[in-house]
Amino acid sequence: MELNACIKGRRSIRLYQDKSAPKEIVEKILNAGIWAPSGMNSQPWRFVVIENRDIINKLSKRTKEILSKMPWPTDILQKYAKSEKDTIFYDAPLLILLCVPKKEEWRQVNILDCGLAAQNMFLTAYQEGLGSCFIGFGWYLNRDPAFLADLGVPADHEVIAPMIFGYPAEDPKPKSRELRILKWIS
C-alpha cells in the first residue's frame, strides 16, 4: 500500500469480526514494531501477545474495576467503567501489551519509543487488512502488578502501549485533522 494512503486510511477500530489473525500477520506486526527508532537504540520494548478472548475480557473487567474507583465524572464512569459492554478492549481477538523495564530516568524516552513502535504496528496491521486501536485505559492495569505478573509482565516492568487488533466490523469516518504551525522560520 502507498505510504500516504496507509497513514491516512488507518482508523481506530472498536468493533471486530469473530475471526483471529493468522500467526504470520501477527509476527509481521510485531516485527514492524521493533524496526522503530529508539533512544540510543535501547529497544526497550517487550511484548505480551494475548489471543485468548476470555483472557482479554478478564483484562477488560479488571481495568473497569480499577477505573470505577477513579474520581471521575459520573457520566464518564458510567460510559466506560460501569457499562455491560466491553468498553475497554472492545471484545477484540488480539491484545498486545507493549511493556518496558521500569526506569524512571528513561521513562520519557521509553514512552516515545513505544509510541513509535505502536504506530509502525498499526500501519502494518492496516496494510494487512486488520483494524487496531491504542487503548490508553489499559494503562490502569499497571495499578495491579500481581494481575499483570500472571500475564507475564514482571513487577519491574510497566505497560506503556496496550493495543488491540483484529479484522474490522466497522468502517468509521476519518476525524478531521488540523495542521497547527506555531511558527515557520525560513
Ligand X SMILES: Cc1cc2nc3c(=O)[nH]c(=O)nc-3n(C[C@H](O)[C@H](O)[C@H](O)COP(=O)(O)O)c2cc1C
Q: Binding string to ligand X for residues 2 to 41, with x set by CB under 6 A, is what?
A: ---------xx-x---------------------------
Judged by CB under 6 A, does residue 136 bind ligand X? yes
* Side-chain half-sphere CA neighbours of 129 within 13 A: 7
Q: If we measure between CA atoms, which residue out of 117, 111, 121, 165 comes closest to residue 142?
A: 111
List of residues 6+ apart from 161 with CB closer than 8 A: 97, 98, 114, 115, 117, 118, 134
C-alpha cell at 54: 476470555
With respect to ligand X, which residue has the nearer C-beta, 69 or 79?
79
Judged by CB under 6 A, does residue 47 bind ligand X? no
Q: What distance in Å separates the CA atoms of residue 52 and residue 66, rounded to the nearest whole number?
A: 21
Judged by CB under 6 A, does residue 125 bind ligand X? no
Judged by CB under 6 A, does residue 134 bind ligand X? yes
- When binding is defined by CB under 6 A, the residue of 45, 126, 137, 165 that contacts ligand X is 137
- When binding is defined by CB under 6 A, the residue of 71, 74, 175, 182 that contacts ligand X is 175
